[in-house]
Amino acid sequence: MREITVYNTMTRQKEVFNPVTPGEAKMYVCGVTPYNHPHIGNARPFVTWDVIRRYMKHVGYKVTYVQNFTDVDDKIINTSNGEGVSWDTIANRYIDSYFEVMDALGVQRADIYPRVSTHIEDIIAMISTLIENGYAYELDGDVYYSVDKFEHYGELSGRTLDDMEAGARIEVDGRKKNPMDFALWKAAKPGEPYWESPWGKGRPG
């Protein structure tokens, strides 16, 4: 098996790739939020990671490739409400569209495609653990991650909390302990899908 070096974002330098399990490369790649047809920007990372996976296999690694679908999301819900169809109708339509495009580009399919909607119990368990350990808190059915509790927050990006502009992507909720705290769970609103949780009816944030 050929030795390879990879760039370590934490140390900001190239290092010899030493997997947790010798001879096995396990890859988790963040997938799409399927609320519309994929575009060239969606394709770029999946072509890139497909090349990396192929190379890992070429040099002798056993590769397990996992890529998720965020099939419960504000954009999906907004699209479904606009069309008057269910959220999963939208998600399934554009997941099919995603596969059609990736197949046409010759991108090999992942080994596993977990969906948010099929792992709700796991998500609730993880959020509960974060609350128990003081890393998250509940407000009127919403649960937020407390960025101040994690001393290494921002290390991978090389940015501190002071560098980050709160509300750059979404409207700031004045109830939060820190404007940068982000939603792990959202209380259900009329017309939205929901699941039962320790914090009431809601969905992953």
Q: Fold for domain 5-117?
A: Rossmann fold (3.40.50)
CA 43/CA 178 separation, integer angstroms: 35
Please report which confidence band the pLDDT of residue 20 belongs to, taking 50, 70 and 90 as the band edges: very high
Residue 58: count other Cβ atoms within 10 Å of its Cβ. Answer: 9
Give the position of tokens 């001879």: 23
pTM for this one? 0.86
For CATH 3.40.50.620, list the domain ranges present in the chain. Answer: 5-117
List pLDDT tens digits, range 145-169. Answer: 999 998 888 888 887 777 775 545 5
Q: What are phi and psi of 102, to 5 degrees?
A: -65, -35
Position 170 pLDDT exceeds 70: no
Class of residue 13 by CB neighbours under 10 A (exposed 0-12, middle 13-18, buried 19+): exposed
